[in-house]
Structure formats: structure tokens, C-alpha cells
A and B are shown apart, each in its own frame.
Chain A
């Protein structure tokens, strides 16, 4: 099977652009849930913040964690930022979320067509699966695929104001490691504190 070509966008530049100026979000600072693997590193590299919840495990769970946050915080905007492998593992969640249709949740999938973390094995998105088409078939009203930085720039405000499922085609090239905090209890406490939630 052919590997993805190496002409995709630089993932760090894409994520830095999508997460830029998080205060420019209706209802307050953008809430971000990242998926296990490279999107966790990308979001950390873009600037660690309390409103980021990074997954270092729980593969396939990012979108549903985002839904739990979105239902609990209806006045805030939630962005699930994940990779193609993580999204594929939780593909049923696309159906579950579309059925519930929260007004404050968007998903952006950084798609390099590979399981980069484990040795660049081709993923299903380079073997025939079109995740934006899957999301549309699950009932997401607006889905799109971005292939240029100009489109990514346009995407940034839309992800915070609409209900979008977006795929961004990124290069599978390796980028320098950036490891954000991975103590899940500490990440949880600071995320909740940033939302003003009192400890139980």
C-alpha cells in the first residue's frame, strides 16, 4: 500500500495556528482536549495552559471526553484536537456526538495517514477511509478537509463558533519531541480550577 506523500502541512504550524489567541473565543478561553499521541505534543508545544487536557492514554476517548465537557459547560467552547489513529479508534463517537448535537463542540483531526507514534505504519485514512465523509454520514452537518495554511487560518475562528468536524492533511514527517505535563490528576485539577469548579 502506498504511504502518504510527504507534502502535507507542518503539524506544529497548523496546531499553533488553530490554538492561537485562545481568549478569542465566545464565552471565554477555548477548552481543548487532545488525543493520545502527537496532538498532545503539538498542543503542548503551542503553549501549555490550564484549559488544555492532554490524553496520554485512553486512546479513542478524546471526542467523548470533549462531549462530557461540552454538556457540562454549555456556555464554553470545546475543541477536540486529535489524530487520525485516535479518531479511528473512537469512530463510533462521531455517531454518538452527532446524535446528541451539542452546539459548543468541534473536532479537528490532524491527519497524516499514519500511526506515527508507533513507527509510521499506514493508517486507515491512507488505506481508503475518509474521516470527513464518515463524520458527514454520522450526521455532522458541516465537515471539511483543509490542505493549505490559508484554509487552516480560516478554520481557526470557525472551530470556535460553529459545530465543525474538520480534517487537516498534515505531513507525516517527524517533528522534535515536546512533552507537556502527563500527571492526569494534576491536569484535571487545574482544568477544573480554570473553570472555577470547587473541589468536591
Chain B
């Protein structure tokens, strides 16, 4: 990963939006963002055991006067659904960046059911969903989504499509 990757641009967009807390359940597609967050002394980074913890953390951050962002993969979205009612009921902002599994070139069928339902269930909970398919659009999309979430105090998710992040490679060609 070079210092000029689109993930670096996304991190800058989060910083410009005033994000001070990042919660995550790891995903390979988020690894550069997670690395940047951990290297940033001005960012509170919280690794969660399950994704709904990050939704609750973001609500607490809002109560305490800070902005937060949750990084997760599409399979984790199912774990967050009831908790997303928290920011909605509070009229608090909620921003999440979601790496997609189970779509473009997926090798592992276990990822497909939740990946296929991700957008539908988020929308069912009232989350505004944006989808980035190319690196040309992703940084602007994150910046605009952060403005929407924090400016209008609503829940917003940006999906990073599997085509954008690249399908996970389980067995390298050389092997």
C-alpha cells in the first residue's frame, strides 16, 4: 500500500470531518485505515468484539461532544441492526464505512447471504446508504457522507464495493 492510496484519502476525509473516535472490527479491506488510525495520536481507536459495540460507542462519543466512525465489513452489519435504533432515536449522527463481501468474485459462499442483504437491512433501519464502486469517487463520497451524517445528525453508511477493494484471495496463484 502506497502513501497515496485511496484509503489514505478516505482517512484525510475523516480527519477533515472532525472524527476523533474510530471503532472497528477488523477487515482486510480496512487495514490501511486502521493502521493510519493507530498511528494518529489525536484519534481514539477502539477495537470491538462485535460491531454493535461501535454503534453504541459512537452514540457515547456524540454525548461527550466528539465525532466517531465505525469501520466494519458487510457481515458485521447484521450484528448492528437493533443498536442502530440508538442514534436514530437520539437524533445523533452515525457514520459507518463498510467493506463489502459476498458480491464481486466472492470465493466464500458463507459471506453471500449477509452481503446480499446489507443495503436492504440498513435502509430498513433508516440508514442513508451510499455505494462506492471506484476509487475515483470514494474519497468525495466519504467526505460528503460525513457532512451528511454530522451536519444533519442522521445515520449514513458508505459501502466500499468488493470490486473497489478487490475480492479476498484465499490461495495465491503461486501456491
Which residue of the partner chain, among A57, A69, A71, contacts B89 with CB atoms under 8 Å?
A: A57
Min CB distance B52 to A, Å, is: 7
A-side contacts of B90, CB under 8 Å: 184-185, 187-188
Question: How long is the Cα–Cα vector from A72 to B20 in the complex, in angstroms?
Answer: 8
Question: How long is the Cα–Cα vector from A57 to B84 in the complex, in angstroms?
Answer: 11
Interface residues as binary, B44-65 with A (CB distance below 8 Å gives 1, 0 otherwise) = 1011111011111111111111
Interface residues as binary, A127-159 with B (CB distance below 8 Å gives 1, 0 otherwise) = 000000000000000000000000000000000
21 A-B contacts, Cβ less than 8 Å apart?
A57-B85, A57-B89, A58-B56, A58-B59, A58-B86, A61-B53, A65-B57, A65-B60, A65-B86, A67-B46, A68-B59, A68-B61, A69-B63, A71-B46, A71-B61, A90-B53, A93-B56, A188-B62, A188-B90, A200-B93, A200-B150
Which residue of the partner chain, among B46, B47, B55, B65, contacts A61 with CB atoms under 8 Å?
A: B55
Which residue of the partner chain, among A33, A59, A100, contacts B60 with CB atoms under 8 Å?
A: A33
Evaluate contact between B91 and A188: CB separation under 8 angstroms.
yes
A-side contacts of B89, CB under 8 Å: 57, 184-185
Residue A53, interface by CB 8 Å: yes
Residue of B nearest to A199 (CB): B153
Min CB distance A22 to B, Å, is: 16
A-side contacts of B59, CB under 8 Å: 58, 61, 65, 68
Question: How long is the Cα–Cα vector from A99 to B53 in the complex, in angstroms?
Answer: 13
Q: Contacts A184-B89, A188-B92 given: A53-B63 contact, CB under 8 Å?
A: yes
Residue A85, interface by CB 8 Å: no
User: Which residue, of B21, B49, B93, B153, has the highest number of chain A Cβ atoms within 10 A?
Assistant: B49
Given A68-B61, A72-B66; 15 other pairs, CB 8 A cutoff: A58-B56, A61-B59, A64-B57, A65-B86, A68-B59, A68-B64, A70-B60, A71-B64, A100-B46, A184-B86, A184-B91, A185-B89, A185-B90, A188-B90, A188-B91
B-side contacts of A59, CB under 8 Å: 82
Cβ < 8 Å to B, chain A residues 64-103? 64-73, 90, 92-93, 95-96, 99-100
Evaluate contact between B66 and A185: CB separation under 8 angstroms.
no
Residue B68, interface by CB 8 Å: yes
B-side contacts of A44, CB under 8 Å: none
Q: Contacts A99-B47, A188-B90, A200-B150 given: A58-B82 contact, CB under 8 Å?
A: yes
Evaluate contact between B64 and A72: CB separation under 8 angstroms.
yes
Evaluate contact between B150 and A57: CB separation under 8 angstroms.
no
Residues on A close to B: CB < 8 A? 33, 53, 57-73, 90, 92-93, 95-96, 99-100, 184-185, 187-188, 191-192, 195, 197, 200
Q: Contacts A65-B57, A96-B46, A96-B53 given: A71-B86 contact, CB under 8 Å?
A: no
Min CB distance A50 to B, Å, is: 11
A-side contacts of B49, CB under 8 Å: 92-93, 95-96
B-side contacts of A53, CB under 8 Å: 63
User: Which residue, of B44, B57, B60, has the highest number of chain A Cβ atoms within 10 A?
Assistant: B60
Q: Contacts A90-B53, A92-B53, A200-B153 given: A188-B63 contact, CB under 8 Å?
A: yes
A-side contacts of B63, CB under 8 Å: 53, 65, 68-69, 72, 188, 191-192
Residue B83, interface by CB 8 Å: yes
Min CB distance A12 to B, Å, is: 25
